Structure 1
Amino acid sequence: MASYKKTYKHTLIAKKELKQVKKELSGNESSLNELYRLKNEISSIDKIIGGQTLNPEYVQQTLLDFISKNDFNVNIVDIEDVHLFSDSEFLIYSNQIELEGSYKDLTYTLYEIEKNFKNSRVISTQFYTKKNYRTNTKTLFLKIILQNYENNK
C-alpha cells in the first residue's frame, strides 16, 4: 500500500494528465487548420465584395473614366462626394453617381459596371423620372451607389 501511494499513484496521475494534454494539443492543431481555412475564406469574400484598400477618390475617378471611355450613350448628371462610414471593425467608402439616358442604355451601363468595374461593388440602384414641364417630357435617370471597405485596424 505504501509503495502504491509513493510510486504507482503518481505514475497513474501523470499518465492521465499526459492523455489530457495530448487531447488538447490535437484540438489546437485542428484549430490552426480551421483558422487557416477561415483566413482563406475571408480573403476570397473580400475579393467578391470589394474589400480592397483603394483610395476612395481613385475609385471615383476610375468610375468616371470607365463610363466615359466605354461610350455608353448616357450622360453623367451628378456625382456625389465620397461618403465615409466607420465602425469598430470596418471603414466603408460609398460613391454615388447619377446617370441620364434611355432605359436600354442605362441598363446596359449598369450591367457593364457590375460585370467589369472591379474597384468597387454596386450596392444599390434606383431608376426614376423627372418631368420637364416646359417641354412636357419625362427624362429617365439612374442613381447608382457603389461601396468598398477596408479593415479598421
Structure 2
Amino acid sequence: MKLNRKNKLLLLGFALVLYVCYSFAISNTINYYKEYKTKQEEIAADSNMPKLVGQLIQKEKQLDQVLSKYDVNISESFQNDLLKQLTAYSDSYKLKIVDFQEPHSVAQKGFTVTSYIFSLEGSFNGCLALLNKVENNPALGTIKHLNFIKKRNYKTNTDQLFVEIIMQKNKGI
C-alpha cells in the first residue's frame, strides 16, 4: 500500500477526530467517573459515622478522667495561676523570678495560642528541677523555648545564671 496524498490526509483527519473526541467526550467521562468514585467513598465513610461518634464519646470520657487526675480547673486568669505555681516552685528550689512579661496571643487555625515569657535566676539544678515540674504539669501548657544566660556580677565577683522561658497555652476559639 502506497501512502499517497489522500491516504495521508485521511490518517491526519482520523488522528484529529480522535483528539477532538478525547478532549470533548472521553476526558470528561473519566473526570466524572473519578468524581463519582470519590463521592461513593464519602458516602461509605458517612455510614461509619455512628461508630465514630461512639469512639469520640469514649475518648472524651478518657480525657475527662485524665484531666480530673491532674486537677485541672478553669479559672478567670491563667496568668495568675501560672505565676502562683512558678512562685511556689521557685521558693522550693531557691530561685528568683526576675521578669514576667505580658502574654502574647496569636489566633491561628481555630485556636488562640498564648505565649508567656518569664525569666528566672538561680542555680542550674534548681532551674532544671523547676522546668521539670512545669513540663510535667499539663495544665500549665508546654515549654517552647529555653535560653540559659551566664552573666558575671563584677561587684560580688560571682557568676549568675539566668534562664528565659517561653511557654505556650492553646485555647480553642
Q: With structure 1 as the length reference, what TM-score do the two structures score? A: 0.63
Q: Residue 96 of structure 1 contacts residue 143 of structure 1 at CA under 8 Å; is this kept in 2?
A: yes
| Matched residue count | 122
Q: Does structure 1 residue 85 correspond to structure 2 residue 106?
A: yes
Structure with greater Cα Rg: 2
Structure 1's unaligned 5+ residue stretches are 1-21
| 1:87 Cα deviation after fit | 2.5
> Post-superposition shift, 1:78?
0.3
Bigger relative contact order (CA 8 A; separation at least 6): 1
Distance in 1 (CA, whole Å) between partners of 2:131 and 2:41 is: 55
Q: CA deviation at 1:136?
A: 3.3
Tell me the distance in 1 between the aligned counterparts of 2:50 and 2:138: 36
Contact 2:134 2:140 in 1 (8 A): no
In the aligned structure 2, how far is the partner of 1:102 from the partner of 1:23? 59
Judged with a 3 Å threshold, the aligned counterparts in structure 2 of structure 1 residues 23 and 124 are, in CA distance, closer, same or farther, namely closer
The answer for the alignment partner of 1:60 in structure 2 is 79
1-structure distance, mates of 2:115, 2:42: 45
Instruction: State TM-score, norm by structure 2.
Output: 0.57
Identity in percent: 26
RMSD (Å) for aligned C-alpha atoms: 3.3
For 2:136, the equivalent position in structure 1 comes to 115
Opposite residue 90 of structure 1, the aligned amino acid is F
- Where do residues 19-58 of structure 1 align in structure 2 (5 Å cutoff)? 26-34=44-52, 37=55, 40=59, 58=77
